[in-house]
Amino acid sequence: MAEKLILPTEVKVCATCSYWDGERHVDAEMKLVVVSEDCEGECLVQEAAKPGLHDVRAECSCMWEDLEPDLPVDDTAEAA
């Protein structure tokens, strides 16, 4: 059985990016991502297989995006 890793959502690896489609569990309340040590998935930006723990800080073609949901738009402010 593979070891499970718990990562804060702000750590810049593929598993914490919203463009990575590998198997993970996201705890939105605690802002944590749980993945297996050897997880793999596809980067939807680069259209390539990437390991979940791949460090993206040195990748030029990476568009890493935090898993945090965008803040809701306040429609009342726009209507004024």
For the chain, 80 residues long, the average pLDDT of each consecutive 10-residue run is 88 96 93 95 96 94 85 64
Does residue 79 lie within any of the structural domains? no
Give the pLDDT confidence score for residue 9 in this predicted structure: 93
Give the pLDDT confidence score for residue 28 in this predicted structure: 87
Give the pLDDT confidence score for residue 44 in this predicted structure: 96
Give the pLDDT confidence score for residue 76 in this predicted structure: 66
Does residue 52 lie within any of the structural domains? yes
29 lies in which domain range? Answer: 4-59
Does residue 78 lie within any of the structural domains? no
Does residue 75 lie within any of the structural domains? no
Looking at the structure of the chain, the number of domains it has is: 1
Does residue 23 lie within any of the structural domains? yes
Give me the sign of the Cα torsion angle 31, 37, 43, 44: negative
To the question of pTM greater than 0.75 for the whole model, the response is yes
Alpha carbon 37 to chain centroid, angstroms:
15
Give the pLDDT confidence score for residue 70 in this predicted structure: 65
